[in-house]
């Protein structure tokens, strides 16, 4: 049966923040971990909500330095497996993985080296996927913003005099000066009008829409 892993928490500013609903069990395991040999590792804190409703209050608990300094540094390259003692009556797995300041828990304890290797691979995949998604989200948003900016700039482009357009069109061979495309072409101000660029032929070039968006991306307008 394949192992399933889920992100149960992360480290922010020396604090372990748990995000899983079965946080009680995980918190119990983390607080019961023995200090690592040497005890030179990071000293994290964890804040726990004790009680519910109006009587509920947050307490900060200092965790034992259960991972050594070297192990912590290595945990940015390879997931580090932590094995705690299972809490009585709990079926929660007591193995955790720490990778790039994120904690992962499998749905059950891995049995043997093969499953431990599987756990490591699944943790890596989860983190890489999350990072990849974040970076594609970032470029998606910046492309949309560039497109909106481009549309906002649009009407100003029409103020390029016809003789300048004709000159630029002939000079640039009726194609995008960056990639040679002949589709979706626009007259582009090399120095944007908003930044003081003028409508002279020297400041105008032909760009296709994708190249134009890439350009806006780079100069950050």
Which C-beta is closer to Zn ion: that of 179 or that of 219?
Answer: 179
Which C-beta is closer to Zn ion: that of 72 or that of 150?
Answer: 150
Q: What is the closest distance, in whole angstroms, from the C-beta atom of residue 135 to Zn ion in the complex?
A: 23
Which C-beta is closer to Zn ion: that of 5 or that of 206?
Answer: 206
Question: By CB under 5 A, is residue 179 in contact with Zn ion?
Answer: yes
Q: How many other CB atoms sit within 10 Å of the CB of residue 196?
A: 9
Which 188-217 residues touch Zn ion, going by CB under 5 A? 208, 211
Residue 15 exposed, middle or buried by CB count within 10 Å (0-12, 13-18, 19+): middle
* 157, 178, 186, 214: residue in contact with Zn ion (rule CB under 5 A): 178
Binding mask 115-144 for Zn ion (x = CB under 5 A): ------------------------------
* 172, 181, 197, 199: residue in contact with Zn ion (rule CB under 5 A): 181
Q: How many residues bind Zn ion (CB under 5 A)?
A: 6
Q: How far apart are CA 216 and CA 91, in angstroms?
A: 54
Which C-beta is closer to Zn ion: that of 177 or that of 201?
Answer: 177
Helices then strands, each counted (H, E), the chain: 5, 9
Question: By CB under 5 A, is residue 185 in contact with Zn ion?
Answer: no
* Contacts with 121 (C-beta within 8 Å, 6 or more apart), sequence order: none
Helix (H, G, I), strand (E, B) or coil at 184: coil
Question: By CB under 5 A, is residue 182 in contact with Zn ion?
Answer: no
Residue (of 112, 47, 120) closest to 82 by Cα position = 120
Give the CA angle between residues 53, 23, 70 to the nearest 5°: 135
Residues near Zn ion, by CB under 5 A: 176, 178-179, 181, 208, 211
């Amino acid at each position: 049966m394949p192992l399933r892993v889920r992100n149960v928490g992360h480290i922010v500013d020396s604090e372990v923040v748990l995000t899983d609903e079965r946080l009680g069990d995980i918190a119990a395991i983390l607080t019961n971990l023995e200090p690592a040999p040497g005890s030179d590792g990071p000293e994290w804190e964890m804040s726990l909500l004790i009680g519910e409703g109006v009587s509920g209050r947050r307490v900060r608990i200092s965790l034992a330095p259960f991972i050594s300094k070297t192990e912590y540094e290595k945990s940015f390259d390879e997931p580090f497996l932590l094995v705690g003692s299972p809490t009585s009556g709990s079926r929660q797995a007591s193995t955790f993985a720490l990778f790039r300041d994120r904690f992962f828990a499998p749905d059950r304890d891995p049995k043997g080296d093969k499953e431990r290797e599987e756990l490591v691979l699944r943790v890596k995949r989860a983190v890489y996927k999350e990072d990849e998604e974040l970076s594609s989200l970032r470029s998606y948003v910046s492309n949309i913003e560039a497109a909106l900016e481009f549309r906002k700039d649009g009407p100003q482009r029409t103020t390029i005099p016809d003789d300048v357009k004709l000159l630029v069109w002939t000079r640039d061979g009726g194609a995008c000066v960056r990639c040679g495309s002949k589709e979706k072409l626009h007259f582009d101000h090399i120095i944007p009008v908003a930044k003081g660029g003028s409508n002279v032929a020297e400041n105008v070039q032909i760009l296709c829409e994708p190249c134009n968006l890439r350009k806006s991306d780079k100069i950050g307008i």
